[in-house]
Amino acid sequence: MKKIKFIWIVFCLFIISLISISLYPAIPKPDQIVVHRMQKSITISKQDKRYNEILTLTNKRFTIRNSQSDISNSEKEVFIKNSSESLEFVYNRPQSYRSKKGFIHSITYDRLLFPIESSDKIESTYVFFGSADGYYNITVKDLLKADKLVDTLKDIN
C-alpha cells in the first residue's frame, strides 16, 4: 500500500512539473523587437499592438524537446547570412536561459536572434544568443516552424 501511495505521489509531482514547464514562457519580454528584412530593420516597442502577438507566437515555438547546442563560428555566420528575415529581441538587462531538455548550462544574454525566413528551412528552427558584441557559438535548436509568425510579420513595413 505504501508503495502505491509513493508511486502516485511521484506521478503527480511529475505531471505538475510538466504543466509548470509548459506554462512558463520560454523567454522573457524584450525591451524591443527588431524585425530584420533584407537590408531594412524595423523596431517594435512594447507599446506597439503587434508586440504581444509576436512575443506569444515566438514563445509558442519553444517545446520541451528543444536542446542547447554548440555551433561553430563559421556555421553560425552562414545561418545568419542566409536568413532573409529574422527577429531580434533586445534586452536592457542581462537575461538567463536554461533549456528544458538537458538542464546543464545556463546562458546569459541580452539579445536573441531568430532566423525566420532562410534559404535552408532548418536554419529557421534555431535561436542565437548574444550581446552587443555579437552572437555566441551556442544555440537552441528544434524550435517549431514559424508559419504563423511569418504571416504576422508580412504586415510590418
Q: pLDDT tens digits, residue range 16-75?
A: 665 554 545 578 899 999 998 877 889 999 999 899 999 998 888 877 666 677 777 777
Whether 76 maps to a domain, the answer reads yes
The residue with greater pLDDT, 115 or 51, is 51
> Residue length, the chain?
157
Q: What is the predicted pLDDT for the residue at 89?
A: 93
Whether 12 maps to a domain, the answer reads no
Rounded CA separation 135/152 (Å): 25
The cell numbers describing 59, all together, are: 514563445
Whether 8 maps to a domain, the answer reads no
In the chain, the number of structural domains is: 1
Whether 65 maps to a domain, the answer reads yes
The residue with greater pLDDT, 81 or 111, is 111
- Quick one: average pLDDT of 62-90? 76
Q: In what order do the strands lie in the sheet with 40-45?
A: 40-45, 32-37, 83-98, 106-118, 127-131, 134-141, 67-70
Range(s) of the domain holding residue 80: 26-154
- Quick one: average pLDDT of 93-117? 77
Q: Is the dihedral of CA 79, 86, 147, 102 positive or negative?
A: positive
Whether 32 maps to a domain, the answer reads yes
Helix, strand, coil percentages in the chain from 3-state DSSP, rounded to 5: 35, 40, 30
